């Protein structure tokens, strides 16, 4: 019964309907933005006029933080569906804690950078290192999120529902492939 509870949304309107949670969709925003921050930061040390990269990285941090806050609010609803005291719940807490830590680190990184690059220079070593460490922590958290979904099936449809995608029903008007290899 506990496993079935973790598959059902606490609030389908907010967290997404059964079998189609919103959290995995939303996490693409901070992940993509923060990966690009590191790319822009490194590129700012290669490009001859890195001002656009440093300003772009600032914007990407802000976009990532906003996306992370949206993903966290929906992810928290998903966490509430997992029964307390289970391994899945404990991993969910670690996943949430890491994500909140990473988000706080990026907020700090944004404040550290804010207004520092009016001269158009490269990103300083400190903010660059913080971005890379934060990205590594995000990778660990993503691994745990994958474990929640793919190993424990949190917010994943049950196998009976999944089997619908593997049934064979030819569409009307279309021919089915021959077993002899002939068209």
The pLDDT of residue 143 is: 97
Query: Cα–chain-centroid distance for residue 72?
Result: 10
Tell me: the pLDDT tens digits for 59-105? 999 999 999 999 999 999 999 989 999 999 999 999 999 999 999 99
| C-alpha to C-alpha distance for 58 and 44, rounded to whole angstroms | 12
Radius of gyration of the chain (CA): 22
Which stretches within 44-86 are classed as H helix? 51-80
Lowest mean pLDDT among 1-5, 19-23, 62-66, 162-166: 1-5
Place of tokens 């939303």: 26
Place of tokens 């772009």: 56
User: Mean pLDDT over residues 20-38, rounded?
Assistant: 94
Orientation of helix 51-80 relative to helix 28-43, angle to 10°: 160
Whole-model pTM: value is: 0.82
Which are the contacts of 135, defined by CB distance < 8 A and separation ≥ 6? 34, 35, 37, 38
**Is residue 25 scored above 70 in pLDDT?**
yes
Phi, psi of 59 (to 5 degrees): -60, -40
The pLDDT of residue 115 is: 74
Tell me: the pLDDT tens digits for 37-58? 999 999 999 999 999 999 999 9
Give, as one character, the DSSP assignment of residue 99.
H
Question: What torsion do the CA atoms of 106, 107, 111, 112 make, to the nearest 10 degrees?
Answer: -30
The pLDDT of residue 118 is: 66
Residue spans of the domains in the chain: they are: 22-157
**Is residue 175 scored above 70 in pLDDT?**
no
- Other Cβ atoms less than 10 A from the Cβ of 182: the count is 6
On whether the CB atoms of residues 95 and 148 are closer than 8 A, the answer is yes
User: Mean pLDDT over residues 145-171, rounded?
Assistant: 81
Higher pLDDT pick, 23 / 141: 141
On whether the CB atoms of residues 89 and 82 are closer than 8 A, the answer is yes
């Amino acid at each position: 019964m506990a496993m079935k509870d973790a598959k059902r949304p606490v609030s389908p309107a907010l967290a997404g309907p059964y079998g189609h949670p919103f959290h995995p969709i939303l996490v693409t925003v901070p992940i993509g933005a923060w990966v690009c921050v590191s790319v822009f930061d490194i590129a700012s040390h290669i490009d001859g006029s890195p001002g656009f990269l440093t300003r772009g990285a600032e914007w990407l941090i802000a976009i990532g933080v906003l996306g992370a806050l949206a993903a966290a609010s929906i992810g928290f609803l998903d966490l509430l569906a997992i029964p307390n005291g289970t391994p899945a719940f404990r991993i969910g807490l670690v996943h949430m804690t890491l994500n909140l830590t990473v988000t706080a680190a990026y907020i700090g990184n944004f404040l550290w950078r804010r207004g520092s690059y009016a001269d158009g220079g490269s990103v300083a070593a400190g903010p660059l290192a913080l971005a890379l460490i934060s990205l590594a922590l995000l990778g660990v958290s993503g691994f745990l999120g994958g474990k929640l979904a793919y190993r424990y099936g949190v917010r994943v449809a049950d196998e009976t529902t999944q089997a619908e995608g593997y049934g064979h029903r030819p569409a009307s008007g279309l021919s089915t492939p021959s077993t002899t290899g002939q068209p």
